[in-house]
Chains A and B, each alone.
Chain A
């Protein structure tokens, strides 16, 4: 009976960790997609300095978020997003709207893929 309780506790721990992972990944994915959309909008409105400042702020907070995400996801995926995000302030400084847009879309796709691949859909399970 003791072992049964241990088994149930371990299942609960696994369940809680999975819940935390899905919650964290989804929340970060949604938050950063919003920030990236704002950077894109600011570039289109030719507020290059604001876009530069926001992209700097975004990458700073992403680096903190990456530490949490590293606990749950493959570090290579997170590093790839970090590298792509690091290019945004440079593009914004150069007032290169097209490059920012392309980069933002790419990062958004990766964030969506991170979130989607952790959800228990049939295609992910299979």
Chain B
């Protein structure tokens, strides 16, 4: 419980962060930028977890555990994603998402 800041403020910030991330994911063409957008989405969710834990059930710790868990997974995911991006670059000399269309009909 932080004085002067209600849960609504925090949720407003995280909602804005989430949609900035989603918008970035849908519009950016560079794979790295898309990855960064995904990080934004994940962090918005992290903040939500912590906020709900803090404001609604301060006696429990599950929200914190989930955040830690997501941060760990996100680090692993970023490593894998960057490895994939590097391999794509080696193969087609581009990291533009529109150039990666081998999987179409």
Are both chains from one complex?
A: no
Interface residues of B (CB under 8 A from A): none
Interface residues of A (CB under 8 A from B): none
